[in-house]
Amino acid sequence: MSNAREQKTLYKQQSKSEKQHQNSLTVLPRCEAGISYRPERSKASLQRMSSEAVYWLGNETLRVSAALFAENRRRLCSGLKNKDGVVPRSVVVLQGGEQKQRFCTDTDLLFRQESFFHWAFGVTEPDCFGAIDVDSGKSILFVPKLPESYATWMGEIFPKEHFKEKYAVDEVQYVCDRGQNTDSGSICREASFEGISGFQVNNTLLHPLNAVSVRRWSTGQNERASLSLPVSVLSRLTKTDMELEVLRYTNKISSEAHKMIMKHVKPGMKEYEMESLFQHYCYTKGGMRHTSYTCICGTGNNSSILHYGHAGAPNEKTIVDGDITTATPRTSPAPSRLTAGSPDQRNVYEAVLKSSRAVMAAIKPGVKWTEMHRLADRVHLEELLRLGLLSGTVDAMMEVHLGAVFMPHGLGHLLGIDVHDGTERVNEPGLKSLRMGRLVQERMVLTVEPGIYFINHLLDQALSNPKQSCFINGADDIAVTADGIELLTCVPRTVEEIETFMADSEKTFSPVVSSQK
């Protein structure tokens, strides 16, 4: 069985009669509503066609036009046409995710589509492939040919025409008509199928390279850094208007879910109850069956665990009065007032808030993301020095990268279909955990999540009382505009806003939709 999670392979088919003319095939992954693209059609014509194919779960959930995915396919083809090595008559082939079972049982795991296939096609069903002609933009969807027993156990078996109308692609064929894929790699590896010997393989254009020269990030030049990224990833670095609208909607739903948790959390609850409330709200109000990552619902000293909530630490602590709580991963107090807890909690919280605002005020196209991380470090160290927790000069602390002791993670990362949408590690002292190193561009969507942690094994002197182990993190999602940012996250941030919001059970919080420099 093939694992299609990240298979992206470019094949160049060699004609027996005309070796000078070669066809090309490219394998990638999935999407959630597709529409055909033909080069002779205008953008307006494409949008009219896409209005007939809309992904919608009813009620107040977002309607996603199929034009979003058609535009992504167009951008991918455009990027490939500008790359050396792509010959005429090339075809991109994307492999979608496969339905998996739990170990040796017949119980299905909850299916989530492969991200690249989702970005390009918008298909919700598993075990599909998609093909895009680079020259013409023609789109072909390959769906499984289901056995008759499927109708008994799983529901109606739809004809090919159903999928053509549902996803607005040019053509639909059965997967078995293409040749069975037998690749079993879970990372980006070359696909293998019957008849592959008739193709000449070129694996450098769409397939993420195994060795990425992250030292290029220190130059601050995107054009050099781009050489280490495949076209499939580069196409996802910036967002279209339609993608931004989807991200605004998802941020709205998750922000409302956070505020609902803030209203309901109280001493005596379990951490997993916060996780349950968050997932319930997102599914009920937004039709979101999946969360972008495992919920982090740490309280008290669990808040200092960066990726708490995993199977070994499954959000199981009882919440007590005075706990600082994190919920995926916005920080808020368990009592209604931060002033009701330790003064240190409020001081450190406001230090993180100050660094977040400093970074967001500085972000605009052309700035180095590494410098934004260092700006957050500097503000943290200045505030810790002011509070008497450190001694010396901030410049001396920056030279020895002391900020990484208190913020061991990166400032933020690209955001999109995946929570880490295009990870790029930076090979510079103090920045090893930063997941984005290029210059900020307009239409990038990034997280801004500075934090101050007091983690025992990262400190020279261990904290004698585990209750003093503290973590404050403020995570916001932003879209980069031409002259600043648009703030996508809509939750109370200042101490005064939080206390006012928590104290009045009937009061709603009016979000700030945008914030520009």
Do the bridges between strand 22-27 and strand 9-14 make them parallel or antiparallel, or are there none, so unpaired?
antiparallel
- pLDDT-above-70 percentage for the chain: 72
State the Cα–Cα distance between residues 502 and 505, nearest whole angstrom.
7
State the Cα–Cα distance between residues 325 and 290, nearest whole angstrom.
22
pLDDT digits (tens, 9 = 90+) for 285-312: 999 999 888 899 999 888 888 889 998 8
Query: The tokens of 187 are what?
Result: 């990372």
All CATH 3.90.230.10 domain ranges in the chain, comma separated: 238-339, 342-475
What is the average pLDDT score of the chain? 77
Placement of tokens 């970005």 in the chain:
119
Task: Judge whether 32 and 118 are in contact, CB under 8 Å.
Answer: yes
pLDDT digits (tens, 9 = 90+) for 317-341: 999 988 877 755 555 555 545 545 5
Which segments within 100-178 are labelled E, that is strand? 129-133, 139-143, 171-174
Query: The tokens of 313 are what?
Result: 């630490």
Q: How confident is the model at residue 1 (pLDDT cuts 50, 70, 90)?
A: very low
Length of the chain in terms of residues written: 517
DSSP string, 307-321: TTTSTTS-S-PBP-T
Q: How far is CA 205 from CA 24, 71, 217, 403, in A?
A: 12, 20, 20, 38
Query: The tokens of 75 are what?
Result: 């951008």
SS3 405: helix
Do the bridges between strand 54-55 and strand 139-143 make them parallel or antiparallel, or are there none, so unpaired?
unpaired
Nearest to 328, CA basis, from 259, 268, 417: 259
Query: Which pLDDT score, from 0 to 100, does residue 327 have?
Result: 59
Nearest to 458, CA basis, from 401, 517, 391, 378: 401
State the Cα–Cα distance between residues 392 and 382, nearest whole angstrom.
10
Amino acid present at 256: E
Q: Which stretches of 206-270 are DSSP H helices?
A: 222-225, 231-234, 241-264
* Mean pLDDT along residues 93-105: 90
Query: Which pLDDT score, from 0 to 100, does residue 512 have?
Result: 46
Q: Which CATH class is domain 342-475?
A: alpha beta
Placement of tokens 């709205």 in the chain:
252
Count of Cβ atoms closer than 10 Å to residue 135 Cβ: 15
H or E element, residue 411: none
Nearest to 360, CA basis, from 451, 486, 511, 237: 486
* Mean pLDDT along residues 151-166: 92
Task: Judge whether 113 and 133 are in contact, CB under 8 Å.
Answer: no
54-177+197-217 under CATH 3.40.350.10, yes or no: yes
Residue 237 has pLDDT above 90, yes or no: yes
CB-count burial class (<10 Å; 0-12, 13-18, 19+) for 110: exposed
pTM (predicted TM-score): 0.76
State the Cα–Cα distance between residues 432 and 497, nearest whole angstrom.
34
Task: Judge whether 426 and 370 are in contact, CB under 8 Å.
Answer: yes
pLDDT digits (tens, 9 = 90+) for 403-431: 988 998 999 999 999 988 877 788 888 89
Task: Judge whether 277 and 254 are in contact, CB under 8 Å.
Answer: no
Of 505 and 441, which is predicted with more confidence?
441
Query: Which pLDDT score, from 0 to 100, does residue 495 have?
Result: 78
| Cα Rg of the chain (Å, integer) | 25
State the Cα–Cα distance between residues 266 and 269, nearest whole angstrom.
6
SS3 487: strand
Task: Judge whether 454 and 384 are in contact, CB under 8 Å.
Answer: no
Residue 243 has pLDDT above 80, yes or no: yes
* Mean pLDDT along residues 448-469: 64
Tell me which of 171-180, 281-290, 314-323 is least confident.
Answer: 171-180
Placement of tokens 């009882």 in the chain:
318
SS3 344: helix
pLDDT digits (tens, 9 = 90+) for 39-83: 334 455 444 554 579 999 999 999 999 999 999 999 999 999 988
CATH among 3.90.190.20, 3.30.70.100, 1.10.357.10, 3.90.230.10 for 238-339: 3.90.230.10
Placement of tokens 């009937």 in the chain:
506
Q: Give the list of residues 6+ apart from residue 76 with CB closer than 8 angstroms, or none.
A: 92, 120, 132, 231, 232, 235
State the Cα–Cα distance between residues 235 and 392, nearest whole angstrom.
45
CB-count burial class (<10 Å; 0-12, 13-18, 19+) for 14: middle
Q: How far is CA 458 from CA 11, 107, 383, in A?
A: 48, 42, 19
Amino acid present at 453: Y
Q: How confident is the model at residue 257 (pLDDT cuts 50, 70, 90)?
A: very high
* Mean pLDDT along residues 216-245: 68
State the Cα–Cα distance between residues 35 and 41, nearest whole angstrom.
12
Q: How far is CA 490 from CA 160, 438, 480, in A?
A: 42, 27, 16
pLDDT digits (tens, 9 = 90+) for 6-35: 333 333 333 333 333 333 334 333 332 232
SS3 452: strand
DSSP state of 419: S
